[in-house]
Amino acid sequence: MIRLPAERGLQLKLIAKDLGVTLTEAIETLINREIEAGRLEDQLPLWDIDVFTDGIIFDAPTFALPKLTAQQALNVANAVDKVIERAEKGGFNLILEGEKVLTIARIGRGITFASGEKAESVTVMMAQDLARQLRTAAKAQSN
């Protein structure tokens, strides 16, 4: 957690109000501006997306998945998009390897990624970041 002087917290709330979003979404908007400007690496801390010759690693903070193919990474990214758009009410269960399943679902204002007994919840903007990063990894792995 971040501790801020009360004055800065109030200023952030004014920014959020001006943008018509929550405080969290305002901060995420500022972070994404820095990513787009190239001043911040396009990587979500604690989530691991790495490209190797034999596949793509996509690990959450509390669970690891088998290496993904480029197509599987694209399938996960597309599932995230559909869950964000609420096109799939029940979410998605993606079978990755054998019986290993990744579930992506909308829970309230957030998105949950789950595998086995472990689950991680993220904001919509964080889920969009992960989907974009998976697409980038899939493109890099295909080349």
Q: What is the pLDDT of residues 40-80, one digit of tens each?
A: 999 999 999 999 999 999 999 999 999 999 999 999 999 99
**Residues 88-136: tens digit of each pLDDT:** 667 889 888 777 899 999 988 899 999 999 999 999 999 999 999 999 9
Task: Look up tokens 């909308």; give the residue.
Answer: 106
The whole-angstrom separation of Cα 104 and Cα 82 is 10
The pLDDT value recorded for residue 123 is 95
CA distance 65 to 78: 17
Q: What is the pLDDT of residue 88?
A: 60
As a whole number of angstroms, the distance between CA 23 and CA 92 comes to: 29
Q: Where are the domains of the chain?
A: 1-41, 44-142
Which is more confidently placed, 1 or 141?
141
Q: Identify residue 44 by its one-letter amino acid code.
A: L
